[in-house]
Structure 1
């Protein structure tokens, strides 16, 4: 009896071009219940950049929007979002799939979708404000590690 091999990985996961994610925060409240969330942090979505351009992953009420934007590669989409009054954080490199804590038990909302995009190193959060706080801390510790002299 021979040992069973694991199934082959899908081809689309083997040859992904380098990608970077930006997490974009909005204060707009489309539903009354969103007004309970912190002003300025009532929704979040992900914008992914690769060699072909930009793709937006936006969990809307009742559906998940995935759109390739008709802008040229290299377009400053984070700058566009800033000018529109939104708050983009990033870029976060999206690396090859890594083992990490799964998102089991998490409600399916904008925060869990953004955490899933970032992968296993995403900070724990339940609200857009909590995700913003966690990403800001992560950015600060990353900057400290880059500027600390090596012994």
Structure 2
């Protein structure tokens, strides 16, 4: 795939990150309740794709939903925390192999691209992205100073 084509495809997508989950593994009980798991949902012109890392496998599902369906709203009504939309970024340049295990957080950071904040836990990623989103909203809604 040519670099220009890759950017055009990424620009047409929006990424939503969904946080929540119960502790299906004993070690997950150490994490903050309500932030024990995260996954990515991608929206494009064709619909919705869910990327969810599960224990021992990666679930990739193209959902058969009516056009214009509000999937982030569905997750919010289900009691999950949703952040986004984000635009997928450029790939991170790596000189060394990754030293961290593949987790739900590393998947979400990979989908966001090189600009994704560093985080080890779902709550850490949520908190970092929430700060970024908050700053973006402040910049977009603040009236210019008259002076």
Partner SS, residue 65 of structure 1: strand
The alignment's C-alpha RMSD in Å is: 2.3
The Cα offsets for residues 22-77 of structure 1, whole Å up to 9 and x where unpaired, read as 00001311111110100110000000000000000000000000000010232100
Matched, 1:88 2:82: yes
Q: Could you tell me the TM-score, scaled by structure 2's length?
A: 0.85
In structure 2, the gaps of 5 or more residues are none
Question: Retained in 2: the 8 A contact 1:25–1:45?
Answer: yes
Q: Could you tell me the TM-score, scaled by structure 1's length?
A: 0.83
Matched, 1:137 2:142: no
**What residue number does 2:2 align with?**
9
| Counterpart-to-counterpart distance in 2, 1:36 and 1:89 | 23
In structure 1, the gaps of 5 or more residues are 1-7
Where is the helix percentage greater, Structure 1 or Structure 2? 2
Matched positions, count: 142
Structure whose alpha-carbon radius of gyration is higher = 1
CA shift for structure 1 position 107: 1.9
